[in-house]
Protein backbone atom coordinates (compact mmCIF):
# COMPACT_ATOMS: atom_id res chain seq x y z
CA UNK A 1 0.00 0.00 0.00
CA UNK A 2 1.36 3.41 -0.99
CA UNK A 3 -0.89 5.43 1.31
CA UNK A 4 -1.24 5.57 5.08
CA UNK A 5 -5.01 5.37 4.77
CA UNK A 6 -8.13 6.09 2.75
CA UNK A 7 -10.42 9.04 3.44
CA UNK A 8 -13.88 8.90 1.89
CA UNK A 9 -15.88 12.15 1.69
CA UNK A 10 -19.54 11.22 1.21
CA UNK A 11 -22.53 13.42 0.46
CA UNK A 12 -25.96 11.96 1.14
CA UNK A 13 -28.75 13.94 -0.51
CA UNK A 14 -32.54 13.87 -0.29
CA UNK A 15 -32.41 11.98 3.02
CA UNK A 16 -35.22 11.56 5.53
CA UNK A 17 -35.16 14.78 7.61
CA UNK A 18 -36.47 13.07 10.74
CA UNK A 19 -33.67 10.52 10.70
CA UNK A 20 -31.07 13.26 10.17
CA UNK A 21 -32.28 14.97 13.34
CA UNK A 22 -32.43 11.85 15.52
CA UNK A 23 -29.19 11.80 17.52
CA UNK A 24 -29.66 8.33 18.99
CA UNK A 25 -30.58 6.82 15.63
CA UNK A 26 -27.46 8.36 14.05
CA UNK A 27 -25.27 7.06 16.89
CA UNK A 28 -26.59 3.53 16.32
CA UNK A 29 -26.35 3.77 12.52
CA UNK A 30 -22.74 4.96 12.46
CA UNK A 31 -21.68 2.36 15.04
CA UNK A 32 -23.47 -0.42 13.16
CA UNK A 33 -22.00 0.60 9.81
CA UNK A 34 -18.52 0.83 11.34
CA UNK A 35 -18.83 -2.75 12.58
CA UNK A 36 -20.37 -3.87 9.29
CA UNK A 37 -17.29 -2.71 7.34
CA UNK A 38 -15.02 -4.49 9.82
CA UNK A 39 -13.93 -1.54 11.98
CA UNK A 40 -13.41 -1.71 15.73
CA UNK A 41 -15.54 0.89 17.55
CA UNK A 42 -13.72 2.59 20.43
CA UNK A 43 -16.10 5.39 21.47
CA UNK A 44 -18.41 8.09 20.13
CA UNK A 45 -19.36 11.72 20.65
CA UNK A 46 -22.52 13.32 19.26
CA UNK A 47 -24.11 16.75 19.59
CA UNK A 48 -27.70 17.86 18.88
CA UNK A 49 -27.99 21.41 17.52
CA UNK A 50 -30.95 23.74 18.09
CA UNK A 51 -33.25 24.06 16.26
CA UNK A 52 -32.01 21.05 14.28
CA UNK A 53 -29.02 19.10 13.03
CA UNK A 54 -26.56 16.65 14.50
CA UNK A 55 -22.79 16.30 14.40
CA UNK A 56 -21.10 13.16 15.57
CA UNK A 57 -18.03 11.03 15.37
CA UNK A 58 -17.35 7.36 15.94
CA UNK A 59 -13.74 6.77 16.90
CA UNK A 60 -12.61 3.47 15.44
CA UNK A 61 -9.29 1.73 16.02
CA UNK A 62 -8.61 2.33 12.34
CA UNK A 63 -9.40 6.13 12.54
CA UNK A 64 -12.94 7.62 12.46
CA UNK A 65 -16.38 7.99 10.89
CA UNK A 66 -18.07 11.37 11.27
CA UNK A 67 -21.39 12.90 10.25
CA UNK A 68 -22.83 16.41 10.04
CA UNK A 69 -26.51 16.77 9.17
CA UNK A 70 -28.71 19.53 7.80
CA UNK A 71 -32.27 18.16 8.14
CA UNK A 72 -33.71 21.36 6.67
CA UNK A 73 -31.84 20.51 3.45
CA UNK A 74 -32.26 16.71 3.72
CA UNK A 75 -28.46 16.51 3.55
CA UNK A 76 -25.69 14.72 5.43
CA UNK A 77 -21.93 14.97 5.03
CA UNK A 78 -20.03 11.88 6.14
CA UNK A 79 -16.30 11.17 6.42
CA UNK A 80 -15.00 7.61 6.61
CA UNK A 81 -11.27 7.55 7.32
CA UNK A 82 -9.48 4.22 7.70
CA UNK A 83 -5.78 3.63 8.18
CA UNK A 84 -4.05 0.71 6.54
CA UNK A 85 -5.49 -1.37 3.75
CA UNK A 86 -7.69 -3.90 5.57
CA UNK A 87 -10.97 -1.91 5.67
CA UNK A 88 -12.57 -0.52 2.53
CA UNK A 89 -14.36 2.82 3.30
CA UNK A 90 -16.50 2.54 0.14
CA UNK A 91 -18.31 -0.37 1.78
CA UNK A 92 -19.98 2.16 4.10
CA UNK A 93 -21.71 4.08 1.29
CA UNK A 94 -24.63 1.75 0.55
CA UNK A 95 -25.62 0.94 4.14
CA UNK A 96 -25.44 4.61 5.16
CA UNK A 97 -27.53 5.66 2.16
CA UNK A 98 -30.11 2.97 2.92
CA UNK A 99 -30.34 3.72 6.64
CA UNK A 100 -30.74 7.49 6.05
CA UNK A 101 -33.09 6.97 3.07
CA UNK A 102 -30.81 8.96 0.75
CA UNK A 103 -32.06 9.21 -2.82
CA UNK A 104 -28.70 10.42 -4.12
CA UNK A 105 -25.10 9.89 -3.07
CA UNK A 106 -21.73 11.03 -4.29
CA UNK A 107 -18.26 10.64 -2.85
CA UNK A 108 -14.58 11.16 -3.42
CA UNK A 109 -11.81 9.12 -1.90
CA UNK A 110 -8.39 10.46 -1.01
CA UNK A 111 -5.32 8.42 -0.28
CA UNK A 112 -3.86 10.02 2.84
CA UNK A 113 -0.13 10.61 3.15
CA UNK A 114 0.42 10.81 -0.60
CA UNK A 115 -0.48 14.40 -1.54
CA UNK A 116 2.27 16.46 -3.08
CA UNK A 117 2.62 20.21 -3.38
CA UNK A 118 1.39 20.08 -6.98
CA UNK A 119 -1.80 18.28 -5.90
CA UNK A 120 -2.66 20.61 -3.01
CA UNK A 121 -5.75 22.69 -3.74
CA UNK A 122 -5.25 25.40 -1.13
CA UNK A 123 -1.60 25.60 -0.33
CA UNK A 124 1.46 23.87 0.88
CA UNK A 125 4.05 24.91 3.42
Active site residues: 63, 68, 83
Distances (CA, A) of 40 to 57, 65, 84, 87: 14, 11, 13, 10
Distances (CA, A) of 45 to 40, 49, 56, 60: 15, 13, 6, 12
Q: Report the C-alpha gap between 100 and 81 in whole angstroms.
A: 20
Residue 46 is inside which H or E element, if any?
strand 41-48
Would you call 122 helix, strand, or coil by DSSP? coil
Sort 17 into a burial class: Cβ within 10 Å, 0-12 / 13-18 / 19+.
middle
Amino acid sequence: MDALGKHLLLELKDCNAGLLNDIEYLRIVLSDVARQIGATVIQDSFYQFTPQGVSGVIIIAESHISIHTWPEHNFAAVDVFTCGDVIEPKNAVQPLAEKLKAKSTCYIELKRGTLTESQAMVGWK
